[in-house]
Structure 1
């Protein structure tokens, strides 16, 4: 950070608290609006999908139904994949979002399984999961992504929510783009920090830093997804083929 980077105005605590109290009312309204949207989401209809859609996992050929691991709900992250490319050339955004889901026990306690359905071949892509030190269930959806993502652009990342009724599977909701930020704690904390995400689209005061929009922003550092550097430091190879 440049020492000449502008900072907020300095005021006494009473003035600061008054401004914060006014902002807190807007934050509460935002929370209530989010609750209302979540309530509407729970009332959406759903569409049946092929429970037998093929996936490839550690034990070979399985189905979408198997990916539920016996639970009632499944959240699937459809990860983008660049076949035949080393770790440094895999999607920095998918690495950023997917890599933040480490502790899954609370989802399991709610009857929800989380799994990555990679849109590339299993043997190659699971090496990336292991390279990154991730532990979530991992499957290749290479042979079924176009069917499961009907009406959407296969090859892009998507977060899809499923409900199981016996041997039948239904899709209840999906999102992509900024909707995937539901998985992300880093941006949530940045949004509460004084300089935010430091991206050009943000409404920030004149002179605020914009490093978040340079060379891949915080997704990417020195030519590769940021989270990979600690794995290289630990001695892991990023050759996946």
Structure 2
């Protein structure tokens, strides 16, 4: 049995039926037709997203960064576009008690050069105090730009559920800032590659909501996000940080 979120290896789950190469390739060819249609529909949705109207946002809304107050405009770092991930925060909780979903997606956003090559800045807007949340960022070893949205989060997320994970996209036109798109819940899977890779495997994500054959393995037999993305009481990627001796204390 492995630890800290790895799947057990001491029991065999159900298996797909066996076929010869010709039968396998024929079934795969039939699936390819649906995959290609799915890809084309995704392209069409992205095209429609690019044609959405935009709404102006106060460019002077205050964030807190490493050197104190900064404006939303300054968070663009001079680039034309900004993608902000609004990180949920559990006030007064230690690292083990922080959001497993936000930890899951933020862990997977590492190399920003491709975004920068398209004039896009990526940043985390944490919905918690800067110093406390910055210590969590440091414990996790993330080096993406990090701000606290607390000073302006009601205005930044107007009409939406403050305290929930969001991706919000912004466009800068000179000194003016516009919001062009936002999403939440499963929409934040755009940041994730682990689930995308799992979806290619025979057992998939191993979650109860999936349409899988009888006998397929499931993660700890529960549909609850907190359990699927946690192991032994912590968000799964925290264990590798603990094992190399990093402190997960978030208070001074």
Whether TM-score is above 0.5 comes out as yes
Q: How many residues align?
A: 241
1:49 aligns with 2:52: no
* Equivalent position of 1:232 in the other structure: 242
Determine the C-alpha separation between the residues in 2 that align with 1:105 and 1:173.
22
Where structure 1 has 5 or more consecutive residues not aligned to the other structure, the ranges are: none
* Equivalent position of 2:177 in the other structure: 169
CA-to-partner distance for each residue in 1:130-187, whole Å, 9 max, x for gaps? 0000000000001111111011000101000000000000000000010100000000
CA-to-partner distance for each residue in 1:84-106, whole Å, 9 max, x for gaps? 21100000000000110000011
* Equivalent position of 2:142 in the other structure: 134
Task: Determine which of 65, 82, 88 is the counterpart of 2:96.
Answer: 88
Determine the C-alpha separation between the residues in 1 that align with 2:196 and 2:25.
22
Task: Determine which of 24, 44, 47 is the counterpart of 1:39.
Answer: 47
CA RMSD, 1 decimal: 1.1
- Check the 8 A contact 1:198/1:212 in 2, yes or no: no
1:184 aligns with 2:192: yes
- Check the 8 A contact 1:79/1:117 in 2, yes or no: yes
Alignment of 1:104-183 (within 5 A): 104-183=112-191
The alignment partner of 2:170 has SS state of: strand
- Check the 8 A contact 1:218/1:226 in 2, yes or no: no
Determine the C-alpha separation between the residues in 2 that align with 1:212 and 1:15.
34
* Equivalent position of 2:69 in the other structure: 61
Determine the C-alpha separation between the residues in 2 that align with 1:164 and 1:118.
21
- Check the 8 A contact 1:159/1:176 in 2, yes or no: yes
TM (norm. structure 1) is 0.97
CA spacing shift, 1:160–1:212, aligned 2, 3 Å: farther
Determine the C-alpha separation between the residues in 2 that align with 1:69 and 1:4.
51
1:210 aligns with 2:218: yes
Determine the C-alpha separation between the residues in 2 that align with 1:218 and 1:125.
23
CA-to-partner distance for each residue in 1:102-124, whole Å, 9 max, x for gaps? 00011011100000000000010
| Structure 1 stretches of 4+ moved >2 Å | 1-4, 212-218
TM (norm. structure 2) is 0.93
Cα offset for 1:4?
3.8
The alignment partner of 1:203 has SS state of: coil
